[in-house]
Each structure stands twice: as C-alpha cells, then as structure tokens.
Amino acid sequence: MRRYFGTDGVRGPVNQFPMTAEFSLALGRAAGHVLTQHLDHQPRILIGKDTRLSGYMIESALCAGLTAQGMSVLLVGPVPTPAVAYLTRSLRADAGVMLSASHNPAGDNGIKFFAADGFKLADEIELEIEACLDKLPPLPAALAVGKAARVEDARGRYIEFLKGSLPRGLRLDGLKVVVDCANGAAYDVGPRILRELGCDVIAMFDEPDGFNINRECGSTHPESMMQKVVDVGADVGLAFDGDADRLIACDAQGCIVDGDRVIAILAEHAHKKGQLTGGAVVTTLMSNMGLERYLEGIGLSMFRAAVGDRYVLEMMRETGCNVGGEQSGHMILLDHNTTGDGVMTALQLLTAMQEQNKALAEMAAGMSLFPQKLWNIMMSEPKDVLADEQVQKLICDAERHLGGSGRINVRMSGTEPKIRVMVEAEDETIMLNIGGQLTEAIRERVC
C-alpha cells in the first residue's frame, strides 16, 4: 500500500504533513540512499521547481537530505516538469526531481521523481523509498557528503531541445498566438520559444510572484485566454498549467480545443506523414467516445489506460504507440520526450496547422464529441469509497438506466481527497439527469 506517493508523486498543502520541511529532508535522505545503492560513481540528482513560494523551502530541505546522504545536486530553478525529464537525461544525472503541485493552487506543492532515463520512477522504487522512511539509513562519513551547484543555462538547453523536435528549418511566421503561462513554470520558456520561431506572441499571466500560480488562469481556467484571442484577433490560444506538462488550446473564435481533439489532430497528422507507430493512440477512461469513433473512421485504434499520465505511458510502451494523452491536456509524444510536455504539444499543434495550411477550427471540426460532464465530490479525508458495496450498486443502477448509449466512470482522485464522477451519453439531458442523481446518491452515502 502506498502511504506517501500518489499517481504523481507526493503532494499536499504546504506545512501540513507530508509537505513539510522535516518530511522533505527525510525524503531526501531516503531517496538518496535508495537511488545510490547500486551506483559505482559519484551520484548526482537534478532538482527543478515551478514558481510557488514554497519551492524555496522544499528545495532547500530536499537538497539538504540528498547531500547529507552523499548525492550531489544540480539545481536548475524554475522550469517545466518535462524540462526536468529532458535535463536529467542530457546532464547524465542518476535521477531528477520536480517540485510542483501541477494545476493545484499556490498553497499546495509536490515532489515528483524521475529515473535516469527521464521516465517517472518505477512503482517498486517509490515503495522502497517509502519503506526506507520508516528507518533512515546511517549517514556517510563527514567527507562523503554531496555538494550542490546551479545550472545557469537550463531553460536555454530545454528551448534548443524543443526546437530539435520540429522539422528542420520550420518557421511559424504569420501565426498570432496568445499564450497563458499560468504564472507558472513556462512563464519564460513558452513565450520565448514561440517568438524565436517567428510567432507574434501575446503573453498572459507570465509574471509569477510565488502566490499567483494557477490563480484564475492557465489550463484549468482558460476563460481569459479565450477572450483575449477574440479581442486581439489571434489565430490560436495556448494555456499551460503550473508546471507546463499540459496544454489546453482554443481556436480563433475562442472555442476550446481540449486534449481529445488535440490527440485526434496530432495522431492524424502523424499518420498521414507515416510517423504514427502502433496503428493506435493511448488515452484514458475519461476520453470521449467521439474520439474513439473518429479514430476508427480514419483507420486507427484507441487503447484506454487508467487515469493518470504514468498509466498512459506504461500502455504506450507496452503497445508500441508513440502518441497518447489525456482529455485534460497531458500529451505524451514519445518520439520526443518521456513525459507529458505542454510546450512540446503546442509546438507540434502549430506545426500541423502550418504544414496543412489550416486553421485550428477546421482541423478540430471533424470530430463530434458526445455530451460529457465531470462531477467532483469532496471528502474530508481520503478513503476508498469504491470498496463500498452500496456505492457499487448505485453505479450499476445508473449504468443500467444509461443502457448502451454512453459510459460512466467513477474513480478516486490520485492527488486529492475527491471522488470524480464522469458520465457521457449521446443525449445530453439523459447524461445530466443520470450524472446528477448518481453524484448526489454517492455524496449522501459517503459524506
């Protein structure tokens, strides 16, 4: 049983266990011990962070624990999560860490580990670190501690890596782009690379102050970006989340193009160019049935993984697919990076528009989505309510009323004490009625 690591690392409110300086120090020691057991060289680990105020505290505590246990630390400062995955590989580090709570508010933070190959740390390694926390290892000798150093050109390295994913010589001249940086990790990288590629860039929410990350902006609050696109006559809007591993786009009319539509566009574009592997894409249980039908219409299959980009990635590697993602905007383009990358996805989307000479609205118009809604049920503390037989009966009854005209998915959030209820149906009224009734019935049962 996991005690600290969720589907996306350790996460929670700052200065509440486990997101405290004391726990971060202990976690650094435990991780330093586990990650260096089998190395025959001086171990190194890379740490990046987003723009939260608490990043300074957690970075210092984690760094102290790691160096105390004998690891040397490379500090790269505020960078997107996918930059940590890339830089860990590029700088030949033995592991990487990203300090971020993604799309959560500024009062939360998280600690996410990457292996030396840039993929997320394996479950068994995370469990070994958890076990090590129960009995911390002895400290090494006084002169065997590690040291910390800053990598000054980390963002520049990442920008050049992003450019290398594009067709040689590609320019994006003539595209007017609104970029919502969520006052997060992409505040510099996002606008800068688009300008270097020739875009006319209108940047929004690109002035982080430690408190304003994700505050009424970014991929979970794209309304300001959508309005700005219309106001300035832009061709496209791009909204990242706090750590820039996800993207939500909008077309020139200010209409949202969510992750499902982006998957369809990128998969079809790659398929036409002979670059799609596996004859399929990997999505999650939350992806719309409209995407599945659209892909079938162009001769492609769709595999559904459990919710969470780590599970999408696992299935991509199992099936040989190089395109996958989530409706929420996490896209994994495995030919280019080992984790979800919002800026990379944005560049590939703009490349498809440029190479096909089509507006985003035209490219997204081919796929019809089923009406779908997500309800959230907050709980006072995490508990496995899906093991409750009465809850299972409520779900089965709702599925029976829905018949074969849609889908129901009820799951526990991997990062928050929430139950998420998703209902999808061809008829919107039926979807809303069934979803609303099911959500209230579950809430009455468990809250």
The residues carrying an active-site annotation are 102
Torsion of CA 279, 280, 281, 286, to 10 degrees: 180
In the sheet that holds 200-204, the strands lie side by side as 200-204, 176-180, 236-240, 247-250, 256-257
What is the DSSP secondary-structure string of 411-423? EE-SSSSEEEEEE
Bridge partners of 302? Answer: 281
Contacts of 157 (CB under 8 A, 6+ apart): 86, 87, 90
- Which conformational region is residue 184 in: left (phi greater than 0), alpha (psi within -120 to 50 degrees), or beta? beta
Decide: 422 and 446 in contact? Cβ < 8 Å. no
Q: Which of 75, 80, 8 is nearest to 46 (CA)?
A: 75
Q: Which of 316, 186, 243, 211 is nearest to 8 (CA)?
A: 243
Q: Which of 445, 195, 240, 424 is nearest to 330 (CA)?
A: 240
Decide: 107 and 15 in contact? Cβ < 8 Å. no
CA 222 to CA 237: how far, in whole Å? 9
Decide: 229 and 254 in contact? Cβ < 8 Å. yes
Decide: 321 and 277 in contact? Cβ < 8 Å. yes
CA 333 to CA 277: how far, in whole Å? 11
